[in-house]
Amino acid sequence: MGRILDSKDWINAVSRVFQVIRDQMKDTWPSIPTSLSTQSNPDRVSIENRYRFRRYTDRPTETLGESGLGGIAKECGLVKSAFRPSDDATTLPYLIPANAQLSVQLLKLSQHIRDYMKEADQVPLHHEIALFAEQTGETIKAAIEKYGIVNHPLFGQVYAYEVDCFGSHIIMDDANLPSLLSLPVLGFVKKEDRIYQNTRRLVLSDWNPWYFKGSFIQGIGGPHTGENMVWPMSMLMQIQTSNNESEIRQVIDMIKRIAKRTNSLMCESIDVNHPDKYTRPWFSWANGLAGQTIIDLIERFNYF
């Protein structure tokens, strides 16, 4: 680890990542212009520090609105995401599962660096990196607790999927990771956490607009593949976040049914009623998660 932490390339790369995080924590409005000069144009020209993405498409999830800025956000301690892990554009810019994952990893990074600093010659930049990671990780965590938890009329306090910190929020979950379902696996909460359990019950029900139930299987999908298409990835995460053996066995049975249709591999998504309709029979991400789930089951229930 020391060879990596002492590397100038690593320090420069982390510093650039931290700058992106700082930029994406700012208000959408206003943008503070900065200036830049190049060899071909020595006169300093004004540039903006906002991320934009635009392209021609007939699907709104494939581009960003507001001239490529995407959803409008108010600064609140969270970090904006232009796109979800599914590659679909976010509707509201603060994606709660992504912020939870970032918070956990920043706090881990801070601890790793501090542990290393106890054993090695201290480098001033190490201290700066550890301090930023710790402070930002805690800031994001506090902002999730303040802005990412909302009251649902049936399930009580739950985590929203996306917020804008103006007061708007979206209730849903997507199969792709990080997801609300995966929060304990990310290390953000314990499985037994009350708000997480409320959220889990919601996203595994028809109160989640991307939860589908059919004659073959049931589970969470997403806008990327549309109506009735469930991702085995979500079912594997359901197993990893459950301590209920009956629920686990039920989901394992569905996973086996899928595997029989896809040459023993995990596909990207599959129709809940028509198992011959599926996408990407070779989906490596889901297969890797399947292996992880098997290890998890062996460790928790050695008879599986």
Each of the 304 residues of the chain gets a pLDDT tens digit; together they read 667 888 889 999 999 999 999 999 999 986 555 555 556 655 554 456 678 899 999 888 999 998 899 999 999 999 999 999 999 999 999 999 999 999 999 999 999 999 888 776 666 778 899 999 999 999 999 999 999 999 999 999 999 999 999 999 999 999 999 999 999 999 999 999 999 999 999 999 999 999 999 999 999 999 999 999 999 999 999 999 999 999 999 999 999 999 999 999 999 999 999 999 999 988 999 999 999 999 999 999 875 5
The Cα 65–Cα 88 span in angstroms is 13
Residue 3 three-state SS: helix
Q: What is the pLDDT of residue 282?
A: 87
Q: What stretches of 25-95 show up as alpha helix (H) in DSSP?
A: 65-68
Which residue from 49, 46, 47, 54 is spatially nearest to 27, judged by alpha carbons?
Answer: 49
The number of helix segments (H) and strand segments (E) in the chain equals 10, 12
Per the structure block, which two tokens stand in for 84? 């979800």
Q: Which residues of 64-75 are buried (b: 16+ CB within 10 A; e: fewer)?
A: beeeebbbbbbe
- The pLDDT assigned to 124 comes to 72
Kindly state the tokens that stand for 132. Answer: 């930023």
Rounded alpha-carbon distances, angstroms, from residue 70 to 32, 51, 53, 94? 18, 9, 8, 11
User: Cα–Cα distance between 131 and 35 in angstroms, integer?
Assistant: 28
Residues contacting 82, CB < 8 A, separation 6+: 51, 53, 64, 70, 89, 90, 93
- 51, two tokens: 């991320």
3 state DSSP class of 177: coil
Long-range contacts of 133-136 (CB under 8 A, 24+ apart): 133/106, 133/107, 133/109, 134/106, 134/107, 134/110, 136/18, 136/21, 136/106
pLDDT of residue 176: 98
**Separation between Cα atoms, residue 190 and residue 200, nearest integer Å:** 12
Q: Residue 30: what pLDDT?
A: 67
CA dihedral for 252, 209, 230, 71, sign (positive or negative)? negative
